[in-house]
Structure 1
Amino acid sequence: MEILIKASQFILSLSLLIVLHELGHFIPAKLFKTKVEKFYLFFDYKFSLFKKKIGETVYGIGWIPLGGYVKIAGMIDESMDTEQMKEEPKPWEFRSKPAWQRLIIMLGGVFVNFVLGILIYICLMWAYGERFLPNDNVKDGVWVQDQLAVDLGLETGDKILTIDGEKIRMFRELPISFINGNEYTIERNGEVITKKIPTDFISKLVDRGKEAGSFLYPRFPFAISAVSKDSPNVNSGLQKKDIITAVNDTPIKYYDEAEQKLALFKNQNVTLTVNRNDEVLKIPATITNEGKLGVVFGTLGSKDLEKLGYYQLAEKSYTLRQAIPAGTKKAWNTLTNYVKQIKKIINPSTGAYKGLGGFISIGSIFPSEWSAESFWNITAFLSIMLGFMNLLPIPALDGGHVMFTLWEMITGKKPSDKFLEYAQVVGFVLLLTLLLFANGNDIFRLFK
């Protein structure tokens, strides 16, 4: 059921983005009186799931869910209709239109993707606002309990100040900032230290897999989720949701402090001070020879942490007028972060290429339960990602057509139809190779 919910959201999001992207080409083509022969969601090699001709355009749904297209008369595109190109140009064909009109037609899809992403983020800011843990409020630093964080050079208690000179606003932005960054600054025991992010950091992050979870957390109190059945403290009186605040009257605030303190009393009896529903209790307990209590550590929700005074969350609502610049800024940050990730991917030394994913990876980012906020957040991200990818100057993508059109406008020399045909084939091969590699990565990770 979980896979079905994820897949349904993915297909819905993808279909919406494809239709609107192609509509971005369709509308200016019609405005400039250019004949549009087909408007398709998904590809229709050999046959279609549905098709209907309205006016001069056939509208349909293909069976290969790898994208979609509009077939514009007189244009070298993925249809590779070379027979049409052998005939004399007609006034209603793409190749007969002025270069500036062709440029607008080709940029229409990308324009729609970027505008759609911005509009969705604006609406999300307006409807939901923001609720987050400010990085400045993590006053006692981070909790380092993962080898990846150790390899970064972090220690428990480090307060992360900046990454690549930029102050981090939200604590949840730290992982992606480390992925995109090159160096960071921390405060450790009152001293400000600058460290380099290891070149192979992303490679190690990919190798550990998604199941490993995040590598960076704020420090948590020692909350008990359960008492193990074989624990020496099974009958001690410790209960689920108890929060340990002292060991033998020595105050402790965080789990990492309790861990160090308990290790000093192996095979001994101690007195624990426990916070239970705002009531302070003293409970005798026995420490194992490993320096443990024999309980399961549990994390608390953000509201509980705020109530107990550990972290002060920030909550901000937006009027529509305020949401416009806030949503636009979020869209811009999404784009710049994505560009930084692309730069990491094309640098082999980072190993980021191993994290490149296809349809399985994209589908997996959708939640297993329906959430309108999550769905539209992901759709906005995918829209901006699709816009940027289509703008790359690769033949077979919109950016390739834009590149050749700009060359014509600057030099006054139009590339020949034969050259455009060859370029389209080369671009298609490149895209197919990238597609196979990305989805191959997905399959490899599944088997791994």
Structure 2
Amino acid sequence: MTPILIKTIQFFLSLSLLIVLHELGHFIPAKIFKTRVEKFYLFFDVKFSLFKKKIGETVYGIGWLPLGGYVKISGMIDESMDTEQMKEEPKPWEFRSKPAWQRLIIMLGGVTVNFVLAVVIFIGLVFTYGEEYIANDSLKDGIWVTDKTLGDGLGIQTGDKILSIDGKKVETLSEIIPGFALGNHFTMERNGQVMEKEVPVNVIETLSGEEDKDKIRSLVSYRIPFIINKVPENSPNANSGLKHGDAIVRMNGKPVEYKDQAMPILEANKGKMVPVTVNRNGTSLDMQLKVSDDAALGVHLGLSPEEYKELGYLEVRTLKYSFWESIPAGWNKGVRTLSDYIKGMKKIFNPDTGAYKEVGGFAAIGGMFPDTWNWPAFWATTAFISIILAFMNILPIPALDGGHVMFLLYEMVTGRKPSDKFLEYAQMVGFFLLIGLLLFANGNDLYKWLFK
């Protein structure tokens, strides 16, 4: 299967699961409180359904328009805009006849299920796979900023040690880029000097302006020691005498310890022979090595985690959890993911950050999935999308769960219920707001596809 097809299958599988469980979050408390549910649909059934079957008082079906799903609850003004029903006298089984606290639980059920689902997935992931990470404080000589232009835009460079972001210690190497995207200030060490710096306000715009997304993901890496792992048979230096574990310490008369230090030397000597000094088990050896036309020696670098640790370059740590330990770990990961997403949303509403340009629709969500089938990545992405759905649905916008919750809280506090006519108008306003947001998000996807 092609990568696009694999992403598409994962997208629809994840979306279908999340929609069904979200709607179950409304359906189950509605049934508990003896409220009639007329329809339970995956996707929207505008004009016709792909499948439908009535069981009891509820029609279960699959629509053809994959923009979400819904449960149609009797006596409730929702996306169906069934105003004729609202003109009749309230029936005991209708939503509008139930106490406000019951209606509140029914409306909060969807987002509650989305958040709980994300936590359950995170619990399963940490219990099954644990958490493997490169410890940030173990990096011997700081980070490698793989693209100088992007690094300059963030105010960081190779050799820096990022100590904390917004006062929170950076525990893992993988936290740095997300931390910059969501943070406001950071503490770093450069050449032995600790300094405080502001995160550039347009950091998201700086990163999103780069077309090669792999370059962003790998922008901050550990510095790779120039230690030989393997010399392939087709290498121009196959007969040079290089062996596994050899460390190149000088190249063309200049000291070298890391790949990032060797790259400009190799670039300046394409197609030439260069003198190098190799450290082999404490013994220095002088050699002449061939630099290819694409500025490479044709060797494989990289050591095992154990070798990196033994040589003092970095440490790869793995956290393993028992079942009971995985529960708080999964909960904390869910809370942290939601908190980070809220920080990201705040940046979107600040025009100076340029983050609004990164708002994406279905294509952006589909692009979050890996292009090869990977169950841990699939479930991690599904959990993240579930968090997004929980947050977006609780926003106080009419036509979303949060809009209904807002009016219910008003009713519970004041003792006055908004009129059905007011709720109808509010529902229409919310609907048009959602259409506008949908067009904007998917328009961003289309613009990037056409012009970037």
**TM over 0.5, shorter chain:** yes
Q: Which residue of 1 aligns with 2:209?
A: 207
Assess, with a 3 A threshold, how the Cα gap between structure 1 residues 426 and 254 changes in structure 2: closer, same or farther: same
Q: Which residue of 1 aligns with 2:314?
A: 311
Assess, with a 3 A threshold, how the Cα gap between structure 1 residues 43 and 252 changes in structure 2: closer, same or farther: same
Amino acid at match of 1:173: E
Contact 2:237 2:290 in 1 (8 A): no
Assess, with a 3 A threshold, how the Cα gap between structure 1 residues 302 and 66 changes in structure 2: closer, same or farther: farther
- The answer to whether the aligner puts 1:252 opposite 2:253 as a matched pair is no
Assess, with a 3 A threshold, how the Cα gap between structure 1 residues 243 and 177 changes in structure 2: closer, same or farther: farther
Structure 1 alignment gaps of length 5 or more:
none
Contact 1:236 1:284 in 2 (8 A): no
SS in 2 for 1:91: coil
Q: Which residue of 2 aligns with 1:156?
A: 158
Q: Which residue of 1 aligns with 2:370?
A: 367
Amino acid at match of 2:18: L
Q: Could you report, residue by residue, the CA deviation over 1:254-302 in whole angstroms, capped at 9, with x for unpaired residues?
A: 11233466689897741342779x99864313679x9x95436866376
**May I ask how many residue pairs the two structures share in their alignment?**
443
SS in 2 for 1:208: coil
**How many angstroms does 1:123 deviate by?**
1.3
Whole-angstrom CA distance in 2 between matches of 1:11 and 1:311:
40
Contact 2:273 2:288 in 1 (8 A): no
Larger mean CA deviation between 35-44 and 197-206 belongs to 197-206
Contact 1:152 1:198 in 2 (8 A): yes
Assess, with a 3 A threshold, how the Cα gap between structure 1 residues 296 and 333 changes in structure 2: closer, same or farther: farther
Larger mean CA deviation between 370-379 and 318-327 belongs to 370-379
Whole-angstrom CA distance in 2 between matches of 1:406 and 1:188:
52
**How many angstroms does 1:30 deviate by?**
0.6
Larger mean CA deviation between 330-339 and 241-250 belongs to 241-250
Assess, with a 3 A threshold, how the Cα gap between structure 1 residues 76 and 280 changes in structure 2: closer, same or farther: farther
Q: Could you report, residue by residue, the CA deviation over 1:319-358 in whole angstroms, capped at 9, with x for unpaired residues?
A: 0111111111111110000000000011111000111111
Q: Could you report, residue by residue, the CA deviation over 1:144-201 in whole angstroms, capped at 9, with x for unpaired residues?
A: 2321111222121110001111111111011110000011110112211011111111
Amino acid at match of 1:99: A
Whole-angstrom CA distance in 1 between matches of 2:243 and 2:431:
58
**Residues 18-97 of structure 1: pairs in structure 2 closer than 5 A:** 18-97=19-98
**Residues 373-384 of structure 1: pairs in structure 2 closer than 5 A:** 373-384=376-387
**How many angstroms does 1:223 deviate by?**
6.1
The partner residue of 2:347 within 344, 349, 357 is 344
Amino acid at match of 1:188: R
Structure 2 alignment gaps of length 5 or more:
none
Q: Could you report, residue by residue, the CA deviation over 1:232-253 in whole angstroms, capped at 9, with x for unpaired residues?
A: x667738798865222687632
Whole-angstrom CA distance in 2 between matches of 1:22 and 1:251:
63
Contact 2:249 2:277 in 1 (8 A): yes
**Residues 379-394 of structure 1: pairs in structure 2 closer than 5 A:** 379-394=382-397
What is the TM-score normalised by the length of structure 2?
A: 0.90
Assess, with a 3 A threshold, how the Cα gap between structure 1 residues 371 and 262 changes in structure 2: closer, same or farther: closer
Whole-angstrom CA distance in 1 between matches of 2:157 and 2:431:
48
SS in 2 for 1:253: coil
Assess, with a 3 A threshold, how the Cα gap between structure 1 residues 306 and 50 changes in structure 2: closer, same or farther: farther
Q: Which residue of 1 aligns with 2:275?
A: 270
SS in 2 for 1:47: strand
Assess, with a 3 A threshold, how the Cα gap between structure 1 residues 206 and 269 changes in structure 2: closer, same or farther: closer
Q: Which residue of 2 aligns with 1:438?
A: 441
Amino acid at match of 1:285: L
Whole-angstrom CA distance in 1 between matches of 2:299 and 2:342:
39
- The answer to whether the aligner puts 1:330 opposite 2:333 as a matched pair is yes
**How many angstroms does 1:371 deviate by?**
1.7
CA root-mean-square deviation: 2.9
Whole-angstrom CA distance in 2 between matches of 1:302 and 1:44:
54
What is the TM-score normalised by the length of structure 1?
A: 0.91
